[in-house]
Every structure is written in structure tokens, then in C-alpha cells.
Amino acid sequence: MPGLWKPGSRASAGKGKSMPAHRADDDGERTRRFRDAALPCLDDVYTLARYLLRDADAAEDAVQECYLRALKHFDSYRGPAIKPWLFAILRNICHAEFARRMNSPTAIAEIAEAESQEAAPLWHEAQASPEAELLRRRDATTIQRLVSALAEPFREILVLREMQNLSYREISDIVGAPIGTVMSRLARARAMLRTAWMAEEEPHK
Amino acid sequence: MTCDEAEILLHALLDDELDAGHVREVEAHIATCQRCAAELNAYRDMRSAMATSDLHFTAPPQLRQRIEVAFPKAHTPNRRAVLKGFAMGSVLSALAATGLVVVVLRHEDEQRILSEVVSAHLRALQAGHLTDVLSTDQHTVKPWFNGRLDVAPPVVDLTAQGFTLIGGRLDHVNGRTIGAIVYRRRTHVINLFVAQTTNAESRMAKIETVQGFNIRHWSERGLTYWAVSDLNADELADFGSKVELAAGAS
């Protein structure tokens, strides 16, 4: 779907160059600059890790690894904003973790599930009267649980968009997929969350 | 537009990611299709329910500590660095003889100021001191600077273009008091710093990245502007050119 997006959010051509490295910064200065820029994002990076890995301890390890790697590669970092860059590094670390867990039966089942969900039509479960449908307020813990239950590619895209407020272009850069894919995955992720959200209310009625 | 297309595009509409032409097309479809209109409303409800709930996790303090400890210790000058300093000194004096030093120093100076501008941006965010005058009305923010600065920074309303004015603030960069006009794009804060220049030369806009923040800076009619944000470079460039255009027209 070309030509859909605002011209402002397109392409990375013409990005500004970063500070030239001619100044021979020492390690202390470099570390200080990195800390000032990256540490304010710690809660956001940790949040993404929690949703991606669904495990508090694994998330802590992944975030620590992410910051160490980011510091190591800080010299080669040339923008854009630091947060998406940290997210991209974190995502690679989490995927290595997925690969490690790959042999477990749950991982294989989840991948198969995600693939079938991606292929299914969006409106396979059309509501009888959508105009009458009202979402009931859920508490934060319930929403967190519902989002965490989504299959990986949908969970990831939903967290990047709804909780981290990234633009489609930034998400597309992080997950390495075209914007069209980001859009269709996001539509599906929201449809899946909404179905789960409605289903969640049934037992309370 | 068919329902199949609309079911994807209505999300882009909600996320403010569509260009004006597609916004019109989706809205036209929704005006005639009850089902898609209901879908849009349901997703809008769900988004606002999510936005008002705190779905973030807070990093445990021990994680922050683990990361801090893992950073290399601050550098202490050793003999080699001192020697390097001497060598640098003689290079500088050699350059001075040729007059090149002026250019080099000017560059160093610019980098230092960019660095200070980013620090001011970070300070404002971290200390929670973003605005001295909080108003989305340009006619409130602009006069607030009167008598507080030796310049009258142009305050332009860019709400229609997707940049919400939040307010203004006094800040300090390069040992001088300068004006900061604060905008928001989605959750990204943009600080637009404005200071008087020593000469009236106009300088073309440049985008640079310092400490992970994008800065678009330019000079015009005796004022220098620095727009700083964690917003991506393209959108920041878009913001800057809109400010330039609006300030030039006023």
C-alpha cells in the first residue's frame, strides 16, 4: 500500500549525522553520555522486556544485557531517537532467548498458533450487533494479562504502539517488517485483544 | 473504499498515521457504513481504556543498580592522556599560525552548545520543570516572554499540523538565559530553544544527533533556533520547517 503515509514519517534519508568522533572522548565521558541518554528509558525498556518474555527474572537479565550491548555499540549509534534503538537491541536479545527455548513444546505450539492467526480472516467472529457492544472497563492487571496472552508478533506490535507510543515507521524499523505488515498485524492484534476482552466479561455476568 | 480496506485503515486513522486524502476516504466510508463506524468506536473505546490504565512495569531498583555497577568506572587522567594533551596543544599552535584554528574552535563551540541544549532538554524532562507558563494559546505564551528575555521569540500555533503547544519556559544555555517553547507530538516532547545571535546571517537548517536526541538548528533574522526531541529525525525536520514557515510569515 504505497503512498498511505504522511510524507513526514517516511524514509530515513537525510538523517542528521552524529557528532564526529574526532574528539577522542575517553571512556568515562562516553559512559556518562550514554547513561544520561539511555537510563531515562529504563522503565520503558523493562516494560517491553516484560511483555516480550512474560517473565520478570528473564526480563531483568535481558534488559541488563541490552544496556551493556548498547554501551558497547554507542559509538556506532547514529540516531534516530535512542528509545527505538534500545528496543531493537532488546528485541534481538529476546529473540535469542526464544531460540534457546525453541525446543519446548509450548514454543512450537505458539508459533503454529501465531501463523494460523496471521492467515485467518479478520472478521471470522463477527459480533451479532457490534453497535450494541460496549467495552467494560478492566483493571490494569487484567489488561496486562490479556495483552500478555496474545501470540508473540501481535503482542509485540501492540505494546510498541499502545504502551510505547511509537509511530508505524519506528515500529517497522524495529520489527524489520514493511509498514503494510505492521498495519495488518496491529489490526489483528487489536481484534484479538478485543475478543479476549469481551470474553473476559462473560464469567462475571 | 471497501470494508476490507477500511478494517485495516481505521486503525491508522485512530493512530493519526493517515495522510489527509486517506483520512477523507476512510471517513467517507464510515459515514455510510454502520458496521465500520461501530468498529471504529469500539477500537477507540479500547484504546482510551488502555491509555488511562497504567500498563507499564517499573524497573526494580536492583536492576538499575546492576546496570550502573556494570558501567566502566569514570576515566581518570593517566600519563598517556596528559602527553596526548601536550601533543594536541602543539598541533593547535601550529594550526593557529595558519588561521585554521578559528574554524576548528567554532566547530568545537557549536558541538558544546548542542550538548548544552540537549542537557537543558533532559533537565527539563527529568526535573519535571517543563514549563513556566502553561498554555496551549500562543497569545498567552508569547507575551509571557516580554520583559523576561532580550528577544521576543516567535510562538506559533501548530496544533492543526499535529504539534500541540504546551507552554514556555526560561532556560540557560551557554551561560545565557534563553527562551524555550514546548510542544508535544504524541508523547514526544519538543523543546524549541530560541536565542539572539551575534550576527544577522541566516544559516540553513541542520539536523544532528547528540546523545540519542535529534536536534534541528537554524538561524534566521538574528535568532538562532534549536528544536530538540527524542522524536524521529523526519518528523522533527517537518516540525522545524513548519516553525520556520510560520515564523517567517508572522
| CATH code for the domain in which residue A143 is found | 1.10.10.10
Task: Please report the pLDDT score of residue B111 as a whole number.
Answer: 81
What integer is the mean pLDDT of A181-196? 93
Domain membership flag for residue A20: no
Closest Cβ opposite residue B12 in set A26, A67, A183: A183
AA letter at A111: I
Of A12 and B9, the one with more pLDDT: B9
The domain that holds A51 is classified in CATH as 1.10.1740.10
Report pLDDT digits (tens) over B12-32.
Answer: 999 999 888 889 999 999 999
User: What confidence tier does A121 reach under pLDDT thresholds 50, 70, 90?
Assistant: low
Kindly state the average pLDDT of the residues A154-170. Answer: 93
Distant-in-sequence, close-in-space partners of A79: CB < 8 Å, separation ≥ 6: A15, A16, A18, A85, B209, B212, B214, B233
Residues A165 and A85 reside in one and the same domain: no
pLDDT band at B195, cuts 50/70/90?
Answer: confident
Mean pLDDT of B161-182: 87
- The grid coordinates of residue A36 equal 544520561
**One domain, residues A115 and A64:** no
Cell digits for A31?
A: 559512559
Q: How far apart are CA B233 and CA B217, in angstroms?
A: 12
- The stretch A110-139 carries a mean pLDDT of 57
Contact across the interface for A80 and B209, Cβ inside 8 Å: yes
Do residues A116 and A92 share a domain? no
Residue A9 placed within a domain: no
**What SS3 class is residue A80?**
coil
- For range B214-235, the mean pLDDT: 90
Question: Distances in Å between the alpha carbon of A117 and those of A29, A51, A181, B3?
Answer: 48, 19, 14, 20
- Among A7, A123, A162, whose Cβ lies nearest the Cβ of B50? A162
Question: Across the interface, do A147 and B55 touch by the CB < 8 Å criterion?
Answer: yes
Domain count, chain A: 2
A1 domain-assigned: no
Task: Specify the DSSP element, H or E, that contains B176.
Answer: strand B176-185
A91 and A179 fall within a common domain = no
A contact test, residue of B5, B17, B78, B217 with most A CBs within 10 A: B17
Cα–Cα distance, A87 to A172 (Å, whole number): 12
Q: How far apart are CA B13 and CA A74, in angstroms?
A: 36
Helix, strand, or coil here: A107?
helix
pLDDT of residue A198: 84
* Mutation site for A-interface testing, chosen from B230, B241, B242, B243 by largest number of A Cβ within 10 Å: B230
The reply to whether A113 and A191 lie within a common domain is yes
Residues of B in Cβ contact (< 8 Å) with A61: none
- Chain-chain contact of A4 with B18 (C-beta, under 8 angstroms): yes
Pick A83 or A8 by higher pLDDT.
Answer: A83
Angstrom distance (rounded) from CA A176 to CA B102 = 44
On whether both A40 and A71 belong to a single domain, the answer is yes
| CA–CA gap between residue B193 and residue B180 (Å, rounded) | 4
Task: List strand residue ranges (DSSP E) for B174-239, in order.
Answer: 176-185, 188-196, 203-210, 213-220, 223-229
Say if B19 is an interface residue toward chain A (CB within 8 Å): yes
Band the pLDDT of A50: cuts 50, 70, 90.
very high
Q: Do A42 and A114 sit in the same domain of this protein?
A: no
Q: Which CA distances in Å does A62 have to A49, A70, A123, B115, B210?
A: 7, 12, 36, 30, 26
Query: What's the grid cell of residue A27?
Result: 571512556
Task: Given the cut 0.85, state whether the ipTM is greater than it.
Answer: no
Give the domain extent around A40. 27-101
User: What average pLDDT does range B21-44 have in this prediction?
Assistant: 92
Is residue A7 a part of any domain in this protein? no
- The region of weakest confidence among A26-30, A104-108, B116-120 is A104-108
Q: How far apart are CA B135 and CA B125, in angstroms?
A: 17
Is the pLDDT at A123 greater than 60? The verdict is no
Which residues in chain A (135-194) have CB-CB distances under 8 A to chain B?
135, 137-140, 143-144, 147, 161-163, 165, 167-170, 183-184, 186-187, 190, 193-194
User: Could you tell me which chain B residue has the CA closest to the CA of A133?
Assistant: B42
Interface mutation target, options B119, B163, B209, chain A, most CBs of A under 10 Å: B209
Helix (H, G, I), strand (E, B) or coil at B102: helix
Give A140's contacts in chain B (Cβ within 8 Å): 53-55
Does residue A114 sit in the same domain as residue A168? yes
pLDDT category of residue A128 using cuts at 50, 70 and 90: very low
pLDDT in tens, B120-131: 898 888 777 788
Cα A67 from Cα B139, distance rounded (Å): 44
Among residues 76-115 of chain A, which lie with CB inside 8 Å of chain B?
77-85
Q: Are residues A78 and A159 in the same domain?
A: no
Q: Give the dihedral sign, CA A36/A40/A41/A43.
A: positive
Measured in angstroms, the CA of B171 and the nearest CA of chain A are apart by: 19
Least confident segment among A5-9, A82-86, B30-34, B129-133: A5-9
A133 close contact with B: CB closer than 8 A: yes
**Is A129 domain-assigned?**
no
Judge: A123–B7 Cβ closer than 8 Å, yes or no.
yes
- So where are chain B's domains? 3-52, 101-249
Q: Do A188 and A113 belong to one domain?
A: yes
pLDDT confidence band for A72 (50 / 70 / 90): confident
- C-alpha cell read off for B73: 568506572
A19 domain residue, yes or no: no
Confidence of residue B86 (pLDDT cuts 50, 70, 90): low
Q: Is the domain covering B101-249 a CATH 3.10.20.30 domain? A: no
